[in-house]
Structure 1
């Protein structure tokens, strides 16, 4: 079977080489986002030639791999035919289908890593990388929904939920979705320069490149699935009322509970009172807004339910060690 692989001009070596490995029932969005960012950085305009970047799709055989949508992609080469790469990108998907990953895949990843190739896990690709044993003692970016299962399966790996991607030197992980674009751009900037690395953002209709800490994950999302209905419902109410926080008494009343019951279950599951969790949710949201919007600090303090900006600043400094103004200035400076 032949595949369309745009030719590179004679004598032109790419700045970076990628190989993609797709697990059974892989998710299309992170693969498409990552691959398209690479494609746009690889050539001028929208010609898609593999000039500055090179990419291939690998498999233990050449049988089509079906995505979680049922759409399939056929590998271009087997592991035996693989070339040299700077990065091998493992695209995960449905967890219950990971048992279908061929043992040769794990051995290929171990051997590539031993030769100095960097590994990337997109979506539940982090699960596949963890199965190689190479993530033991390291941090890995995990979607909040997958955290309990990841911790049960890989107790020697540190799950991270509040970052868009995690770089542990030669192993990078990302929880999937559009965060895969940000990770790809970060890699492309390193190898191709900032201008070329960010070239695809406009074509992909992405406003700006987000750094790892600018996560859009909802704070305390894991508590929405903790198994206690009072906590789960309370967190959902809190999220809806970030701008207008209420008393614990009224929150308990809305849940048909007592303040004592609500405090007890929150201390059990969140190790904090409802009011402490509520305030922390608002501070986490405010921090995200500082980095991802042009709203003033006064506007953000109001929109996150604080009575005034000075009250907001005091709580923010207590939580994050810096004033909101200082926090924004320092991190925006790092992006320039």
Structure 2
């Protein structure tokens, strides 16, 4: 997808200036879907239908070198404007991707973001874009949304900031951050609604086959079991469980991967959340099964496989113990 991000079509003469102007910075090996979701909401809101003319809003892909930027999947995107005056944009959006590439963002980009902050231009971090903003020293004192998948990575790499991984996006004054993926469409819709109107925001999402805009505090889909704990080891264990929900790890294997032993892991779970890690894992899998029953057409057998049960009979027994009913009856009541 090596192309200019601005639409080839121009606004009609006599039309008012766009109400929303966004500059994008793409990190090397950025997440393509997060960027595409964000920019497509702008595109569809900018004109009637889906004709893509930048009438109500405009978007620009900024660069220090004008070289194509490779996404994490290898697709190239061609910038169309060099770094200049950040003050001409309503927002600067940084789209991140692979964790290992964060230190490789050039000093020119970092200085540009710092100039934008000094000019009081709101900054947006998409996916690991929040990591980049923090590395640039621009997130101190701000709440920051990161994907539950990267929560532990953030804690390991950055001090002085508490990431939030149980919401799809966060607006904290002039810093806006989101967890990436589909949440970037909802953050973009939030901006469209604020600057252009609710009707345009809803239109964009509906054309993208998204039911409606979600509020910032909507929980991230797929986040781990909602256990309130400040224990870093337990949080990392819960994330590891979530990442292996279809092929459950033993408590001993979880402990090994986290550099501890099983007895220590069990003690920390009991002290922190009042249950053994195996029980927490089982509840997490059953909660995910409830989600699949509510939101998919998967059969009971397929859901049993998706949640790591050895067979449907074992799954049905565990589900009945927790919910007092079978998976099929649970779905029928919805």
Question: What TM-score, normalized by structure 2, do the two folds share?
Answer: 0.71
Cα–Cα, structure 1 residues 287 and 116, in superposed 2: closer, same or farther, change >3 Å? Answer: farther
Q: Residue 16 of structure 1: CA displacement?
A: 0.8
Paired with 1:79 and 1:14, the residues of 2 have a C-alpha distance of 20
Q: Residue 221 of structure 1: CA displacement?
A: 9.4
Paired with 2:139 and 2:77, the residues of 1 have a C-alpha distance of 27
Cα RMSD (Å):
3.9
CA contact (8 A) 2:224 2:239 kept: no
Q: Does 1:186 align with 2:200?
A: no
Q: Does 1:115 align with 2:119?
A: yes
Cα–Cα, structure 1 residues 192 and 288, in superposed 2: closer, same or farther, change >3 Å? Answer: farther
Q: Does 1:8 align with 2:11?
A: yes
CA contact (8 A) 1:216 1:288 kept: no
Paired with 2:129 and 2:193, the residues of 1 have a C-alpha distance of 23
Match of 1:305 in 2: 322
Paired with 1:51 and 1:154, the residues of 2 have a C-alpha distance of 40
CA contact (8 A) 1:30 1:177 kept: yes
CA contact (8 A) 1:22 1:65 kept: yes
Match of 1:160 in 2: 164
CA contact (8 A) 1:163 1:213 kept: yes
Cα–Cα, structure 1 residues 168 and 303, in superposed 2: closer, same or farther, change >3 Å? Answer: farther
CA contact (8 A) 2:124 2:175 kept: yes
Paired with 1:108 and 1:54, the residues of 2 have a C-alpha distance of 20
Q: How do 1:54-203 residues align onto structure 2 when only pairs under 5 Å count?
A: 54-80=58-84, 84-203=88-207
Match of 1:313 in 2: none
Match of 1:216 in 2: 221
Cα–Cα, structure 1 residues 266 and 57, in superposed 2: closer, same or farther, change >3 Å? Answer: same
Residues 102-150 of structure 1: CA distance to partner in whole angstroms, max 9, x if unpaired?
Answer: 1111111111122121111111101111111111132211122222221
SS of 1:156 mapped into structure 2? coil
Residues 251-310 of structure 1: CA distance to partner in whole angstroms, max 9, x if unpaired?
Answer: 99xx9xxxxx97862341571213884698599879989x999xxxxxxxx9993449xx
Match of 2:265 in 1: 265
CA contact (8 A) 2:144 2:163 kept: yes
Larger CA deviation: 214-223 vs 33-42: 214-223
